[in-house]
Chain A
Amino acid sequence: QITLKESGPTLVKPTQTLTLTCTFSGFSLSTSGVGVGWIRQPPGKALEWLALIYWDDDKRYSPSLKSRLTITKDTSKNQVVLTMTNMDPVDTATYYCAHPYDYGDPTRFDYWGQGTLVTVSS
């Protein structure tokens, strides 16, 4: 059974760097074709895809946020970490990590974490 869970701060100050961790079980990021992605959702607004990392360390980023995002994996810990620099109040959102079914379809997220709400405020 695949599960994912996000963890990290609930409150960050403007200009700070956000670090979120996705801890998963039921699959391995050392297996060919496997990946983990991040998607966020501001309160009352739409989903926004952020980043995706694959088993072979291939990394993909949203073009509009690429300069601020870094995604890494720790295969031994079954974790994926997303960092976002220079946080702003507009980055206030629920951040989800999700499992794409396979490398062939990065839109097919078949398992999602519960999400973690991050508020950016001084």
Chain B
Amino acid sequence: QSALTQPASVSGSPGQSITISCTGTSSDVGSYNLVSWYQQHPGKAPKLMIYEGSKRPSGVSNRFSGSKSGNTASLTISGLQAEDEADYYCCSYAGSSTYVVFGGGTKLTVL
């Protein structure tokens, strides 16, 4: 069982917006602004999409945005495109002992 809870799947039609939640605890997501999001296509390595909760690395589309409220972080993808269909994982810093935790992953289907 993963430390961070994500919905197993979400779906949306092209052009729509979807949001993926990532629920942790006051020991991880709730205490630090160090939440990253990764996109993973089948058979590929994960790709960093969001870091520090809401920042985008260079080259990542501004259709991807992140936010956090309390113990829950969220990834929003607007203007869905077929190429966005992938698995998405959140990742949080969890203090000096546990250090890093991942979510269970969410499969995004573009209808």
Specify which of A48, A105, A114 is in contact with B51 (CB 8 Å cutoff).
A105
> How many contacts A-B (CB < 8 Å)?
71
Does the CB pair B98–A47 fall under 8 Å? no
Q: Is A55 an interface residue (CB 8 A)?
A: no
Q: How many whole Å from B29's CB to the nearest CB in chain A? A: 11
Smallest CB–CB gap between A102 and chain B, Å?
11
Q: Is the CB of B102 within 8 A of A46?
A: yes
Within residues 99 to 122 of chain A, which ones have a CB less than 8 A from any CB in chain B? 101, 105-110, 112-115
Chain A 82-113, CB within 8 Å of chain B: the 1/0 string? Answer: 00000000000000100001000111111011
Q: Name B45's contact: one of A101, A106, A115 (CB within 8 Å).
A: A115
A-contacting residues, B56-111, CB 8 Å: 57, 89, 91-93, 97-105
Q: Specify which chain A residues have a CB less than 8 angstroms from the CB of B102 in the assembled complex.
A: 39, 46-49
B105 touches A101 (CB 8 A): no
Q: Mark B22-34, 1 if CB is under 8 A from A, else 0.
A: 0000000000001
Q: Provided the pairs A47-B46, A105-B52, A108-B51 are in contact, do residues A52 and B105 lie with their beta carbons within 8 angstroms?
A: no
Residues from chain B with Cβ under 8 Å of A96 in the complex: 45-46
Main secondary structure of the interface of A (DSSP, over half): strand
Tell me the bound Cα distance from A107 to B46 in angstroms: 12
- The minimal Cβ–Cβ distance linking B68 to chain A, given in whole angstroms, is 13
**Contact among B36, B97, B99, B103 with A108 in the assembled complex (CB-CB below 8 Å):** B36
Q: Is the CB of B35 closer than 8 A to any CB of chain A?
A: yes
Residues of A within 8 A of B103 (CB): 46
Which 7 residue pairs across A and B have the least CB separation, nearest first?
A112-B45, A49-B100, A107-B36, A108-B51, A107-B91, A46-B105, A47-B102
Q: Could you write out 14 A-B pairs with CB less than 8 Å apart?
A: A39-B102, A47-B91, A48-B102, A49-B101, A61-B99, A63-B98, A96-B45, A96-B46, A107-B91, A107-B92, A107-B100, A108-B48, A109-B36, A113-B45
Seen from chain A, the residues whose Cβ lies within 8 Å of a Cβ on chain B are 37, 39, 45-49, 52, 60-63, 96, 101, 105-110, 112-115
Query: B: which residues have CB within 8 A of A?
Result: 2, 34-36, 38, 40, 45-48, 51-52, 57, 89, 91-93, 97-105
